[in-house]
Amino acid sequence: MGVPLYQTKAEFFRTLGHPARIRILELLAERDHAVHELLEQIAIEPSNLSQQLAVLRRTSLVVSRREGVAVVYSISVPEVRDLLLSARRILVGLAETRSDFEDELMVPDRR
Amino acid sequence: MGVPLYQTKAEFFRTLGHPARIRILELLAERDHAVHELLEQIAIEPSNLSQQLAVLRRTSLVVSRREGVAVVYSISVPEVRDLLLSARRILVGLAETRSDFEDELMVPDRR
DNA sequence: TCACGACATGAAAACTTCTTCAATTCATGT
DNA sequence: ACATGAATTGAAGAAGTTTTCATGTCGTGA
């Protein structure tokens, strides 16, 4: 029944596939933030930020609560931290592979 | 210098954000596969599969080699396995949260 | 050399997602 | 009651991605 898991996974990764949403999650991984605090850190228009927060809310990756005049967001799935770390490791690995390759190109041809 | 890390991360996740590409990576995580073998498992047109493989090649997540008449693909970054597992855990967690919530709705209101 | 099967490529059409703008909501202070 | 600051929403156009189709390449075997 229901949607195949690989489809759900793809949707999940697509949710993470936007620079603003990554930044939001990284900031929320540190600590809860009000929207205006996020706005200070991320250089986008308020309504764009709201749209991106809405995407994250829809997938239940974050939740919001009102605190007086401000709306505060927090990560609802702590494991996302591991995922972001995991991704960073992979990217660093890939970057190294590429620069090794570039180094090779730098070395005078010995064949 | 260069592209900010959160941008690179977003691109990386976007690469994973497609059902066919997830399936490809899952199959390759098991063992190397020739294109025609992938084609048996994944219900898409050959040229579409090729396009998706090209996306994965561009980001260096997979590499291909020719073996006689076939082209064989393999995962070039083993850590991707962990990432896929990590994602599954998160998704299972989210699914549970939601069905807990549905359960709550099922329980007669006691307030 | 020719034909064939296995893949890859380029380009156009179809589809999604992003960004932006104007309008709206909702709490708070006056 | 009204004005204000904080955030959200809906809608439209711009930008990006996916799918498909026709064509091209590369080995292998006849």
Q: What is the mean pLDDT of chain A?
A: 90
Its ipTM equals 0.90
Calpha distance B14→B34 (Å, rounded): 24
| Residue range B37-66: mean pLDDT, rounded | 97
What local confidence, expressed as pLDDT, does residue A95 receive? 85
Express each pLDDT in A67-83 by its tens digit: 999 999 999 999 999 99
Cα dihedral B7→B10→B12→B15 (10° resolution): -130
| Residue range B64-91: mean pLDDT, rounded | 95
Give the nearest partner residue to A77 out of B18, B79, B93, using CB atoms: B93
Contact state of B94 with A59 under an 8 Å Cβ cutoff? yes
Calpha distance A109→A111 (Å, rounded): 6
Q: How far is the CA of B94 from the C1' of D22 (A)?
A: 44
Q: How far is the CA of B69 from the C1' of D28 (A)?
A: 7
Tokens of B73: 């693909």
Question: Is a pLDDT exceeding 60 seen at residue B110?
Answer: no
Of A63, A74, A60, A51, give the one whose Cα is nearest residue A11: A60
What local confidence, expressed as pLDDT, does residue A39 receive? 98
Q: Which residues contact A74 (CB under 8 A, 6 or more apart)?
A: A28, A32, A62, A63, A64, A65
Between residues A56 and A110, the one the model is more confident about = A56
Contact state of A77 with B86 under an 8 Å Cβ cutoff? no
Q: Are strands B62-67 and A70-75 parallel, antiparallel or unpaired?
A: unpaired
